[in-house]
Amino acid sequence: MTAYLDHAATTSILPAAARVLTEHLASVGNPSSLHTSGRSARRTVEEARERLAAALGARPSEVIWTSGGTEADNLAVKGMFWARRTQDPQRRRLLVSAVEHHAVLDPAFWMTEHAGAELVLLPVDRDGVLDLDALAAELAAHGPRAALISVMWANNEVGAVQPLAEVVALARRYGVPVHADAVQAVGQVPVDFAASGLDALTLSGHKVGGPGGTGALLARRDLDLTPILHGGGQERGVRSGTLDAALLASFAVAADEAVGARPTSAPRLAALRDRLVAGVLELAPDAVLRGPADPARRLPANAHLTFPGCEGDSLLYLLDSAGVEASTGSACQAGVPRPSHVLLAMGVPEADARGALRFSLGHTSTVADVDALLTVLPAVLDRARAAGLAAGPGTPATAPRPDVASGVL
């Protein structure tokens, strides 16, 4: 039986969300149509909007449906930048933390190449937490030229929870809007859009037990956004496209249930995480826990470790062969593994960064899943280290199973 420890990549759909999805799949009607079936579909969409907004401390009118977290991040970065540049051509600086997901980083880099943006990568400390002094210095020097700030609520690799209250307070002094990717945070830590003071927030359906292909950008009604999709003018004219009532109803139920269960699920997952970390460090004393050591400053379901003398991909494939599924947390292009940009930004040496594994827990996780990892880990580490020695110093070890896809950011 497989032990699935990669819930940060995607988690299984919640039973209630699956029921709602199947109930609505047979319904017909375009939510933009005016006949009876269309109005019924529209009612489903708007009830889902109300439910999602209530779960996250937002107003229904602040919910913009998207196809997922990537689209929502793109809409936030590009839409906010273009709108601000139109209002004030001097506001060209994009302030983005160096440990953002590529759904934020890649649009930001694209804007520098195609839209005249000036990208500022904000540094983080050794735990992966934003350097607030660096942000303050940047704003003091160039605040009137800042178009927006994007800092994730919690990091998807090392689980570091970011100091968003302080970020928002600094940004307000200079009139700079703030966006946060909260894809990993929703359902794990308290997320209240109104209380946060944020201007925009991203979430994704399949991270909270909903269906894939669903997401949302929460955006203040007075926040100007330039559309990146054009067509029928749905979603406040900001995000055109026919809405899927069944998917959105399921997404809203999942988010509502995940948020509602958090007071009990988060402590349960934190206990499992602590059992996992303690067990791994007992079996591999030279392994290093990455991210904040203080449990209050990291996601309860996240455990990210590096293993000296090992290649993360080798560990991943060996664990998979032994029935344990995890993630390296690194990007892999054209079959060439690269160390995580998050770990490098934290100052982790490249050689150490290559030996990274992320274990992430979810609503189906059990003690048996953790113990399955601890049972097979010693043999996996022995084989991975032997492969590393055979490859020679500075040479990535050949992965035992190159047919298996590498980790997901």
Rounded CA gap, 302 and 189, in Å? 12
Identify any residues that bridge with 120 across adjacent strands, giving them in sequence order.
Answer: 95
Task: For residue 332, indicate whether it is catalytic.
Answer: yes
Q: How far apart are CA 330 and CA 103, in angstroms?
A: 14
Q: How many CB atoms lie within 10 A of CB 142?
A: 17
d(CA 17, CA 61): 23
- Between the two ends of the chain, the Cα-to-Cα distance in Å is 25
Cβ pair 99, 108 in contact under 8 A: no
CA 63 – CA 50 distance, rounded (Å)? 9
**Whole-number Cα distances in Å, 198 to 50, 168, 172, 221:** 19, 7, 10, 12
Task: Give, in degrees to the nearest 5, the angle at Cα 362 between 358 and 365.
Answer: 95
Paired residues of 290 in beta bridges: 304
CB 234 within 8 A of CB 29: no
The set of residues, in sequence order, having a beta carbon less than 8 Å from that of 128 and lying 6+ positions away, is 99, 155, 157, 158, 160, 290, 291, 292, 342, 345, 346
Catalytic-role residue among 18, 332, 376, 391:
332
Asked if residue 200 lies in contact with residue 217, where contact means CB atoms within 8 angstroms, the answer is yes
Catalytic residue numbers read 332
